Amino acid sequence: MESEPGPITWPPPELAVAPVQLPPAAPATGADGVRRYDGLSYATNSGYRPRLLDLSVPAGAGPVPVVVWIHGGAWMEGDRRYPPPTVSADLLFGSLLRAGLAVATIDYRHAREAPFPAQLHDVKAAIRYLRHYAGTLGIDGTRIGVWGESAGGHLAALAGLTGAAGPALDGTEGIAEGDTAVAAVVDWYGVADLESLLTEWSDPGNPAVIFLGGTPADRPRLAAAASPVTYAHTPAPPFLLIHGTADTVVPFAHSERLAELLRAAGNAAEVVPVPGAEHIFLNADPAPLVARSVAFLAHHLRRPR
């Protein structure tokens, strides 16, 4: 005779989500000695896909600095595993590893899944996760840089400028508490000012409107909160901004203005114009741009703590 079932609880234990993300499992180690952690779940929320990151740690002793790569896609699409089509994964991620830097590539919620600040909350959750498990992962949680392109460049700039901005921008995704400051930022052709996109992006399906959940004119405070230029007056890590001068998607003026404001506030910011290059560096050779970005990150992340 079967026993009576116990009392029903909700949610069932198998559906309950732990308040802290589970620690990473053992990595796979390649013939090159690189330790690879694939599909680490750094944040989960009921109703959303888990946010995942991949981490590659170069061979060698001691904790190494880590660079968080943030993909582009107009905040609407994209995947942590793929750089823009003009740049190969080996060139981008391989160059970081060959320079002795770990690289974490992250997914984040797209704008149709959740409006801003969900995307920034996810970036910061990934930073907290890496810092929390740095000892297990073999990385140095005190030396984290961010590098992004297009929408990812925008999020990288925001992450660099809002390390002490408080809970509204830090969020409580994943590991809810912890430092989200970073030591260096590389921003490839990212948006700096959401309000300016009202005139620059006239398409009725303007991604900025979906990203904000309304037009910048209708949501001026949120548009300001989502704009890196808003925070340029605050102390910031060193910035490297690389941008095509013929970019018709995100005009070169975005990087120029952000760098000017950062320098006016006493921060270090360098702009590298790419003459004649369109968005995603069409019409340009990306190899020297990757090399310059990696050298910048290696220089700032290898500095004595």
Alpha helix ranges (H) inside the chain: 89, 95-98, 118-132, 134-137, 151-161, 167-170, 197-200, 207-212, 220-225, 253-264, 286-301
Q: How far apart (Å, rounded) are the C-alpha atoms in residues 178 and 144? A: 14
Which is nearest to 155 in space by CA: 130, 129, 127, 176? 127
pLDDT band at residue 175 using 50, 70 and 90 as cut-offs: very high
pTM reported for the whole predicted model: 0.92
pLDDT digits (tens, 9 = 90+) for 1-41: 555 555 655 655 544 444 446 678 889 999 999 999 999 99
- Sign (positive/negative) of CA torsion 211, 212, 213, 215? negative
pLDDT digits (tens, 9 = 90+) for 241-289: 999 999 999 999 999 999 999 999 999 999 999 999 999 999 999 999 9
Q: How far apart (Å, rounded) are the C-alpha atoms in residues 81 and 83? A: 7
Q: What backbone torsions phi and psi does residue 266 show, to the nearest 5 degrees?
A: 90, 10
pLDDT digits (tens, 9 = 90+) for 123-161: 999 999 999 999 999 999 999 999 999 999 999 999 999
Q: How far apart (Å, rounded) are the C-alpha atoms in residues 43 and 165? A: 20
Give the orientation angle of helix 118-132 with respect to helix 151-161, to 10 degrees.
60
Q: How far apart (Å, rounded) are the C-alpha atoms in residues 29 and 104? A: 16
Q: How much is the pLDDT for 172?
A: 92
Query: What is the Cα 240 distance to its own chain's centre?
Result: 15
Give the residue numbers annotated as catalytic, written as ranges.
150, 247, 279
Q: How far apart (Å, rounded) are the C-alpha atoms in residues 108 and 104? A: 13
